[in-house]
Amino acid sequence: MPVRRCLPLLLAALLLAAPLAGAAAPAAADTRSGYELADGGAVPPPVTAAPARVARALAGGPAIAAVSPPIASAGTNTTITITGTGFGAQGSRSDVGFPSAGGVYWASGSTNAVNPDDIVSWSDTEIVVRVPNGLGAGGSRETASSGGLRVVTDANRTSAPFPFAVSFGVAGRRWAAPPVFLVNDNCPGVAGGADAVRRAVASWNAALPPDFRINCSGASNATEAARDGQSLIAWGPSGSITYWYENSTIVEADIILSTSYAWTAGDAGGSVYGIEPVTLRNLAFCLGIAWLDGIEPQGPSDAAKASCRYRTDGLGNMNLVALSPADRAAADYLYGGGDTNPPLLAAAFAADPIAGPAPLTVRFGDASLGGATGRAWYFGDGGTSTERNPAHTYAAPGTYTIALTASAPGYPSDTIRAVERIAVGGTAVLAVPGGAGIPTSTANDGQYDDVNGNGRKDFADVVVYFNQMTWIAANEPVGAFDFNANGRVDFADVVWLFNHL
């Protein structure tokens, strides 16, 4: 299944907090060897990756045939084998790129000079690479995440993205003894904030071994992070998540939830964030579990994991209060001696088209990783299916959220869900006079750039659009032909179409 897009608009909407900071040098006044810092609000922003490396990932080149295993953990020394053709000989520019907060995490270590080279071996047809975790270009901690990985050759050619899922990531640090948090019930205007915090703690405790349970029974009046020997969860003007560590042992952690956000102890949505879901995410970070950044809407995605960095309505995880199988596997690995790669699934699918006028028939195809044998489709309008590759017709206009749950015998029953949204317009597109048929959207994005309906985008579409501009404005749904998004059909759309041939 091709991974379709990186959601630049969604990521832009996520820029709600201060930039992440990275590992700091030790302070002379205390015994810490460094700390990790992330924003304590709801949605930390992604860090911009090195532009030259990202440019390489936009070229064309070698072909990936398979990745084995298709699901693996990051930061655990786990290796994957990438097979295909055209990888060439390894050189200074040869690399494997994984999705991450900064856009691409490069396995060679070039994302940040302090990162190790995780490429184990390289030939023209096979690459062995460790699934990496380290520092992003901006100095914040990042990890390889689910989505499409890429191979870049020494000749500066790149493969198409190939589906791969990261089950969980770890930062190489853990507690030696169960942490004890004090909780300040000072969330502005919200009753029951401390109870919501403790529900999140209870969820993690259910996944941790009996001899390692987080204690959060105590109270505090503190509102700022401080290296004072006492871990804290509170609200304050400077949102942050900080843990201090000595060597690889975490010794203290403070979660300060930003008072600049609107909070609720109940159902979250829009710009109001849930205390329990966000605390569930922040506790993952404090336990040494890496945040994941894969949010490809058709999967494989990290959005259904507590360790996903982002919380938005569009991802369907604003009210995520249950740990995923991958989250539980991470806790078991760090504190229960669990496997680096336990049996897990990653839901993924293809949908075509994802936008168009009603009635709209969408063809779905299961592309889940890990050996799924069962599928449960939810089409968002009340329709369901258990077929592997169903088709579904949307009769009424609207935006529909589609979910796929993948399952298999012997795997966790609460499997991961991949989510996509289908946009159905209210007015059918008509054949344009002088054209060959019904216009189509060549990118399945709701823009009907195949104006003459001949099945492709070419100069003939520019001619038909120019000649029939008045007719299009009077008879077609404006949104389908308003290519430059200025709210009307006009000559500027002709120019846009010509420039985008």
pLDDT at 424: 79
Q: State which of 276, 311, 335 marks the end of a domain.
A: 335
Q: State which of 154, 169, 184 marks the end of a domain.
A: 169
In a domain, 267, yes or no: yes
DSSP state of 383: -
Structural domain including 377 reads: 349-425
Strands 162-169 and 147-152: antiparallel
In a domain, 342, yes or no: no
In a domain, 363, yes or no: yes
Residue 202 sits in the same domain as residue 264: yes
Residue 398 sits in the same domain as residue 436: no
pLDDT at 287: 97
3-state secondary structure 191-258: CCHHHHHHHHHHHHHHHCCCCCCCEEEEECCCCCCCCCCCEEEEEECCCEEEEEEECCEEEEEEEEEE
pLDDT at 35: 56
In a domain, 92, yes or no: yes
Specify the number of domains making up the chain: 4
Residue type, 261: Y
Q: Which residues contact 273 (CB under 8 A, 6 or more apart)?
A: 41, 42, 261, 262, 263, 264, 311, 318
Residue 270 sits in the same domain as residue 207: yes
**CA gap 257, 359 in Å, rounded:** 45
In a domain, 280, yes or no: yes
Percent helix / strand / coil, the chain, rounded to 5: 15, 30, 55
pLDDT at 50: 33
**Please, what's the b/e burial string for 474-494 (b: 16 or more CB within 10 A of its CB; e: otherwise)?**
eebbebbbbbeeeeebeeebb
Residue 35 sits in the same domain as residue 57: no
pLDDT per residue, tens digit, the chain (501 aa), is 333 333 222 222 222 222 222 333 332 223 334 555 665 555 443 333 333 333 344 445 799 999 999 999 999 999 999 999 999 999 999 999 999 987 889 999 887 778 899 999 999 999 999 999 988 777 777 899 999 999 999 998 999 999 999 999 998 999 999 999 999 999 999 999 999 999 999 999 999 999 999 999 999 999 999 999 999 999 999 889 999 999 999 999 999 999 999 999 999 988 899 999 999 999 999 999 999 999 888 889 999 999 999 888 878 889 999 999 999 999 999 999 999 999 999 999 988 888 777 788 999 999 999 999 999 999 999 999 999 999 999 988 888 888 899 999 888 765 666 677 777 776 678 899 999 998 888 877 778 899 999 989 999 999 999 999 999 988 888 878 988 878 788 888 988 999 888
Strand partners, 378: 384, 403
Phi-psi region for residue 445, left (φ > 0), alpha (ψ -120 to 50) or beta?
alpha
In a domain, 275, yes or no: yes
Residue 250 sits in the same domain as residue 316: yes
Residue 94 sits in the same domain as residue 156: yes
Residue 207 sits in the same domain as residue 331: yes
**CATH number of the structural domain spanning residue 361:** 2.60.40.10
Residue 331 sits in the same domain as residue 402: no
**CATH number of the structural domain spanning residue 453:** 1.10.1330
Residue 267 sits in the same domain as residue 320: yes
In a domain, 3, yes or no: no
pLDDT at 414: 56
**SS3 at position 475:** helix
pLDDT at 28: 26
Q: Which residue's structure tokens are 């795997």?
A: 411
Whole-angstrom CA distances from 42 to 174, 191, 281 are 23, 19, 9
pLDDT at 41: 55
Helices vs. strands in the chain: H and E counts, helices first: 9, 28
pLDDT at 23: 31
pLDDT at 66: 96
Residue 243 sits in the same domain as residue 354: no
Residue 190 sits in the same domain as residue 329: yes
Residue 262 sits in the same domain as residue 317: yes
pLDDT at 5: 30
Q: State which of 111, 141, 169 marks the end of a domain.
A: 169
In a domain, 341, yes or no: no
